[in-house]
Amino acid sequence: MTKRFERIYADVDVFCRDHDAKGISQLLEKEDYDTIVDLLNELNDEKQQLLSANTKLTEENTNLLSTIRQAYQSERTALGRNVLKQLLDNLE
């Protein structure tokens, strides 16, 4: 797990109020901060994985469009060029 977030000042008595808690607002104790930090780090890892997957898909899409453009340019028949042109127009 990537450690983007960390708990500091472990000796400080600070409390946080959770206003989204059901019923009466709940106080978060010092011990809860470790859990919160772990969750923030997990969310950060998930975000990084999604960004990486998005980058990979973008690169694959670019490569696919390039391949179709090359096929369009080298196609000899009017029908083939027309089909490839329509495909490019729909993908771009």
Q: What is the pTM of this model?
A: 0.62
Whether the predicted pLDDT of 14 surpasses 80: no
Whether the predicted pLDDT of 87 surpasses 60: yes
SS3 string, the chain, reads CCCCCCCCCCCCCCCEEECCCCCCCEEECHHHHHHHHHHHHHHHHHHHHHHHHHHHHHHHHHHHHHHHHHHHHHCCCHHHHHHHHHHHHHHC
Q: Mean pLDDT, to the nearest integer, of 77-82?
A: 95
Q: How far apart are CA 52 and CA 22, in angstroms?
A: 36
Please write the tens of the pLDDT for every residue from 25-61: 555 666 777 788 888 889 999 999 999 999 999 999 9
**CB of 41 within 8 A of CB of 15?**
no
